[in-house]
Amino acid sequence: METEQATADLCPVHARVLDSVKKAYEAWAKAYGSLRLPDFLQRVAKLQGTGRTTREIVEFLQKNPEKWK
C-alpha cells in the first residue's frame, strides 16, 4: 500500500496540494517575469478552475504566510 507523509499542519492530501501550489507559483513567476507571492495567491483564489482543496490551501497560506517555507 502507498503511504503518504502528513506534515504537522496538513493532512497528506493538503500537503500534496501545497507542493503543487509551490510548483505552480514557479510556473506563474516564470510566465509573468516576476510575481509577488500575495498577488499569486490572490489571483489563484479568484480563478474558476482552482480546485476546492487548492483554494483551502491558498486561504491557509494567505492567513499563515510563514507556512510557505
Binding site for another protein (CB under 8 A): 1, 13, 16-17, 20-21, 24, 27-28, 30-33, 44, 47, 49-54
The whole-angstrom separation of Cα 35 and Cα 32 is 7
In the complex with another protein, the residue whose CB is nearer, 8 or 31, is 31
CA pair distance 35, 24, nearest whole angstrom? 12
> Given phi > 0 = left and psi -120 to 50 = alpha, else beta, which region is 33?
left
User: Among residues 57 and 66, whose Cβ is nearest to another protein?
Assistant: 57
Nearer Cβ to another protein (36/52)? 52
